[in-house]
Amino acid sequence: MKIKNKLTIHYDQKPIYDILLENDFSKLKDALIALGYEKRKLLIVTETNVAPLYLEEIKTLLTPIFREIVCFTFQAGEQQKQLSTVSAIYTTLIEHQFDRKDVLLALGGGVTGDLTGFTASTYLRGVDFVQVPTSLLAQVDSSIGGKTGVDFDSYKNMVGAFYQPSLVYINTGTLKTLPEHEFNSGLGEVIKHGLIKDKEYFSWISKHREEIARREPDVLKDMIYRSCEIKGDVVERDPKEKGERALLNFGHTLGHSIEKLMNFSMLHGDCVVIGSELASLISWKRGLISKEELEQIEELFQYFHFDTLPATLDYKEIVSATKLDKKMDQGQIKFILLHPIGNAKIDKTVTQEEMLWALESYKRLENL
Amino acid sequence: MKIKNKLTIHYDQKPIYDILLENDFSKLKDALIALGYEKRKLLIVTETNVAPLYLEEIKTLLTPIFREIVCFTFQAGEQQKQLSTVSAIYTTLIEHQFDRKDVLLALGGGVTGDLTGFTASTYLRGVDFVQVPTSLLAQVDSSIGGKTGVDFDSYKNMVGAFYQPSLVYINTGTLKTLPEHEFNSGLGEVIKHGLIKDKEYFSWISKHREEIARREPDVLKDMIYRSCEIKGDVVERDPKEKGERALLNFGHTLGHSIEKLMNFSMLHGDCVVIGSELASLISWKRGLISKEELEQIEELFQYFHFDTLPATLDYKEIVSATKLDKKMDQGQIKFILLHPIGNAKIDKTVTQEEMLWALESYKRLENL
């Protein structure tokens, strides 16, 4: 693959926003000037893990172009992705008299992006926001496609909006500081992109697994670019998840149930990996992928040491919890299966028995 | 004018939703079947004043076509137009396992429509909703154009979304039960439509003032149709209030300040009328309308006995409060003036002194 630095996401054939890929933050200022943001007010939303690493750098960099920069730092963690945090951001915006032309910037991982995007979509019925994702998961997944939202009670992303950022600025340099566990969690999504859309990419990831694990910058950039491209293509064709976009939910049906039953103590990416393994098992059981393909998938996931299914969970409870998933369609659970690797399809016929079988089989596969 | 029953609102030249005008609820069922809602779940959101009048009728009418009908009735009043009520609706939706294809129906005035629309726009990132406005204000104004939202602290409509209903069903029969004060409050918007867009319509309202006050059905239907047409035209050309739509905010700059300083104890329509009189005064002071036109405006507003400016309010405070208005643009207040009747324009040069002058002059005009 060839290194590229820019991707443009379209809607109805019109360009909506750019994704810029850089090794540092140096081009962020010019990108914001190009959007016409000079002399506006900026609210940077970030969290306690990311703020010490990048907040001062970004503030210093952007001070010359904005009329005022305000920062909102929340306690890191999925627990804060809720309406009370959104309300606290509204209060900050009102106190600083932000108007419709002022701008929000999300500096952090997926939680920060989802929270900031939802706040931007609803403050004064919508103000601009910029995504500066600092985790691999946010860079290849959540910052692209305009899904914003918060959890409600224990229901994940129950409240939200489809709302596009005006820019996604990816500094791959931030991956250097990412804890291994979180880095690998992002890789779960990367592997998913290969599985659902591009067998060749899946093979490329398998082949470069060591360089990826060592976080070699050029390989990472290639990888992020291709993942952004796949995700971008899907959301362009189906911005509001009426069809194809649902394929990105590969691994999510059972993954979300596990995440929820574990009270979000596990990383989203790890849960999706378990869900992906389970969906791969069901795909194999149905004869849609070969035993060899199933083993390739398992092997790659195992290489990156993803968390495995917690032994404490009750399989029946996991299956029951899928019924509360928002991807339901008139009472039917939408499952994504591989037909084969590189070509996922939506399937509404997966039974509770098949899910239970996969959960039971999963344990054995752990000892492959 | 000729009685018409249907208006279609477009977006990007594509038809988005219909406004149906009827004398009863009898055509609602077929309209919902036409939208493909059969066998889905329906949540009817309404409030304590409207529920005793129409809720049972609507439920009985729609029971045959929906899989399940759930009702959410909140305490009537602007005080409930806030995030905590939205959260209570989310909880109801989750408890009844509403999914993305299920539907919300707003039965009531502007508060009900704004609240329900915002909930629909954010539940699972957006589900369908139907507007069944029962107040004149909601029928001619708030149910059309996709502005949804709630107040935040004491800030009106601070949080919200642009989100279109799938249908607006107006039963003009509901106006029979509307308290006079509320009916007249809606007339404030109707007169505004004439003032900003159609001098001939303004004259028609003046001429038919007695039939309107007597609520003669055919005259009301003509009037509502023309007002929906004017509002619909404006929002079609400018769905997100980037330009022309701001004209609908005639009377709102000072009107909102008064509403806020009175802690929403006055009706929105009355406050906008006061704001409209003040904006007309400024228009006259600037030589944009004649003394005769100013008097025509005043006379019509006085005929319908709108509330006048409360003597308790401090003029300077009213002017100060305009600075927190969300229609500000980089610190500048957007005022709407008449150039002349039937042709409103946005003006960013109105000074605090002019506003103070209008407030002081207003008191005199009350004794015309």
- Distance (Å, whole) CA A86 – CA A90: 6
Catalytic residue among A245, A259, A260, A293: A245
Task: Give the residue from A212, A248, A213 showing the smallest Cα distance to A233.
Answer: A248
**Nearest 5°: phi and psi at B36?**
80, 25
Nearest-5° angle of CA B235, CA B103, CA A334? 115
A92 touches chain B (CB under 8 A): no
pLDDT, one tens digit per residue, over B52-92 is 999 999 999 999 999 999 999 999 998 999 999 999 999 99
Query: Stretch B112-133: mean pLDDT, rounded?
Result: 98
Cβ-contact B45, B107 below 8 angstroms: yes
Nearest CA distance, B300 vs chain A (angstrom): 33
Half-sphere exposure of B229 (CA within 13 A, CB side): 15
Top-confidence residue, A218 or B123? B123
pLDDT, one tens digit per residue, over B14-37 is 999 999 999 999 999 999 999 999
Judged against a pLDDT cut of 60, whether residue A365 lies above it is answered with no
Catalytic residue among B68, B211, B216, B241: B241
Cβ-contact B175, A139 below 8 angstroms: no
Q: Which chain B residue shows the shortest CA-CA distance from A325?
A: B99
Q: Please say if A339 is a catalytic residue.
A: no
Q: At a CB cut-off of 8 Å and minimum separation 6, what does A12 contact?
A: none
pLDDT band at A332 (very low <50, low <70, confident <90, very high): confident
B213 touches chain A (CB under 8 A): no
Judged against a pLDDT cut of 70, whether residue A54 lies above it is answered with yes
From residue B311, alpha-carbon distances to A92, A185, B262, B316 in Å are 33, 63, 11, 13
Query: Stretch B276-298: mean pLDDT, rounded?
Result: 95
Cβ-contact B270, B185 below 8 angstroms: yes
pLDDT band at B240 (very low <50, low <70, confident <90, very high): confident
Of B90, B101, B159, the CB nearest to A330: B101
Of A39, A122, A125, the CB nearest to B147: A125
Q: Please say if B100 is a catalytic residue.
A: no
Judged against a pLDDT cut of 70, whether residue B367 lies above it is answered with no
- Distance (Å, whole) CA B114 – CA B89: 13
Judged against a pLDDT cut of 90, whether residue A149 lies above it is answered with yes
The whole-number pLDDT of residue B325 equals: 64
Contact B330 A147 (CB under 8 A): no
Of B83, B91, B101, the CB nearest to A87: B83
Phi-psi region of A325 (alpha: psi -120 to 50; beta: other; left: phi over 0): beta
- Distance (Å, whole) CA B28 – CA B103: 14
Contact A90 B152 (CB under 8 A): yes
Interface of A with B in 116-135 (CB under 8 A): 118, 121-126
A330 touches chain B (CB under 8 A): yes
pLDDT over 90 percentage in chain A:
79
B329 touches chain A (CB under 8 A): yes
pLDDT band at A368 (very low <50, low <70, confident <90, very high): very low
Q: Which chain B residue shows the shortest CA-CA distance from A239?
A: B125
Phi-psi region of A69 (alpha: psi -120 to 50; beta: other; left: phi over 0): beta
Taking contacts as CB-CB distances below 8 angstroms, the residues of chain B near A324 are: 94, 97
Catalytic residue among B184, B249, B277, B293: B249
Query: Stretch B242-263: mean pLDDT, rounded?
Result: 91
Contact B155 A94 (CB under 8 A): yes
Query: Stretch B124-135: mean pLDDT, rounded?
Result: 97
Judged against a pLDDT cut of 70, whether residue A93 lies above it is answered with yes
Rounded to two decimals, what is the model's pTM?
0.89
Of A126, A155, A161, the CB nearest to B126: A161
- Distance (Å, whole) CA B231 – CA B198: 11
Looking at residue B318, what DSSP letter applies?
A: H
Supply the mean pLDDT for chain B. 92
Q: At a CB cut-off of 8 Å and minimum separation 6, what does B255 contact?
A: B268, B271, B272, B273, B274, B275, B276
Top-confidence residue, B311 or B124? B124
Which candidate in B38, B124, B128, B157 is best for mutational testing of the A interface (most A CBs within 10 A)? B124
Q: Please say if A125 is a catalytic residue.
A: yes
Taking contacts as CB-CB distances below 8 angstroms, the residues of chain B near A83 are: 83, 87
Q: Which chain B residue shows the shortest CA-CA distance from A40?
A: B330
Contact A240 B126 (CB under 8 A): yes
Comparing A50-54, A162-166, B87-91, B238-242, the range with the smallest average pLDDT is: B238-242
The whole-number pLDDT of residue A271 equals: 92
Of A152, A161, A240, the CB nearest to B161: A161
Q: Please say if A268 is a catalytic residue.
A: yes
